[in-house]
Amino acid sequence: MSRMPLVAATCVLFIGQALAQDRLPTIPPEKYDAAQKTAAEEFVAVRKAPLSGPFQPLMYSPELMTRTRAMGDYLRFKSAIGNTLSELVILVTAREWSQDYEWSVHYPIAIKAGIRPDIAEAIADGRRPIGMNDDEAMVYDFAVEVLRYKRVSDATFERVEKRFGRVGVVDLVGITGYYTLLAMELNVARFPAPNGSTPLPRFPD
């Protein structure tokens, strides 16, 4: 897979940052309506953290934001495949959607959870990592297949089903779909990555 020159990638990022506030600018808390205020208060109570990232553009639809947050509470922290493999799936999803914010937030979380840096770096570069263990390899293959080809092969399905059961298959699809939703919201909003973060390489279509 060839890469877009880094200068062009940087230009794409800067354009996105410049235009971000023209689409779905972050709503100041003092301007929340009653539904938004309730949704924000519930978010903070459950997550023990301020509302941030994709949940900011989602606040234009506070009920969707709340339902999305609730789905994430399970998929990120309690899924049948465990937190380490969940973070691997999140990195693959962020890479497939070229989502810099999602990647920059979850990269350090994934490393802390036990994903090796060289595995993450290969994913960022669009390469299949070498040296993955069996669980990592099957989850990586499943996520890549469903994201790129919109379905999975029998062999990939059976490997995941044998290891994690049907609940694991469903949860793995759920994680991939959930972080696709967040990536799409961020991309549509042109939500900027944190200052100082390195953008993912851009590849030609």
Domains and CATH numbers, the chain: 30-77 (no CATH), 83-189 (1.20.1290.10)
The pLDDT of residue 197 is: 85
Exposed / middle / buried, residue 163 (Cβ in 10 Å: 0-12, 13-18, 19+): middle
The pLDDT of residue 56 is: 96
Nearest-angstrom CA–CA distance, 154 and 59? 39
SS3 191: coil
The pLDDT of residue 5 is: 37
The pLDDT of residue 195 is: 86
The pLDDT of residue 196 is: 81
Note the pTM of the prediction, 2 decimals: 0.88
The pLDDT of residue 15 is: 45
The pLDDT of residue 88 is: 98
Residue pair 178/71 in contact (Cβ under 8 Å)? The answer is: yes
SS3 9: helix
Return the exposure string of 130-159: e unless at least 16 CB atoms fall within 10 Å of the residue's CB, then b: eebeebbebbbbbbbbbbeeeebeeebbeb
Helix (H) or strand (E) holding 177: helix 154-189
The pLDDT of residue 202 is: 87
Phi and psi at residue 121, in whole multiples of 5°?
Answer: -65, -35
Amino acid at 50: P
Residue 104's nearest CA partner among 2, 3, 19, 186 is 186
The pLDDT of residue 205 is: 61
Regions of the chain short of the pLDDT cut 50: 1-18, 20
Nearest-angstrom CA–CA distance, 40 and 38? 6
SS3 64: helix
Nearest-angstrom CA–CA distance, 202 and 125? 9
Amino acid at 197: S
